[in-house]
């Protein structure tokens, strides 16, 4: 299987209302290039089935989103996560440690 498939699998493990970081995902995949994750998610084959909006940057910033950052923020808010100036409020509280 490709890194890409693993990537999706990992992301799908993130429970609703929780978020994780690109770094975490990358390490869970066994790679160190967290940017590769961004590429994979950008060309996301199934943007609806894959909750890529639950993956954010390590410092709590939302990062980007292929469908528009605003969209991502809204999705996260619907899951009970507050966002302020593109940054998650109480980020550590929602952080989901993979593995």
Partner DNA sequence: ATATTGACATTTA
Partner DNA sequence: ATAAATGCCAATA
Residues classed as catalytic: 52
Question: CB 91 → DNA: shortest distance, Å?
Answer: 11
Burial of 19 (0-12, 13-18, 19+ CB in 10 A): buried
Choices 58-66, 76-84, 88-96 (CB under 7 A): range interacting with DNA = 58-66
Question: CB 82 → DNA: shortest distance, Å?
Answer: 19
Name the pairing type of β-strands 20-21 and 83-84.
Answer: unpaired
Per-residue string for binding with DNA, 18-57, x by CB under 7 A?
---xxx-------xxxxxxxxxxxxxx--x----xx-x-x
Contacts of 89 (CB under 8 A, 6+ apart): 81, 82, 83
Q: Which two tokens stand for residue 10?
A: 């990992």
Q: Would you tell me which residues interact with DNA (CB under 7 A)?
A: 2-4, 21-23, 31-44, 47, 52-53, 55, 57-59, 61, 63-66
């Amino acid at each position: 299987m490709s890194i890409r498939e693993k990537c999706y699998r990992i992301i799908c493990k993130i429970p609703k209302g929780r978020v994780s970081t690109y770094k975490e995902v990358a390490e869970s995949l066994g790679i160190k290039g967290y940017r590769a994750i961004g590429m994979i998610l950008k060309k996301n084959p199934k943007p609806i089935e894959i909750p890529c909006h639950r993956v954010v940057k390590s410092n709590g910033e939302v990062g980007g989103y292929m469908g528009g950052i605003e969209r991502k923020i809204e999705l996260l808010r619907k899951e009970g996560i507050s966002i302020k100036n593109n940054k998650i409020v109480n980020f550590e509280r929602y952080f989901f440690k993979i593995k």
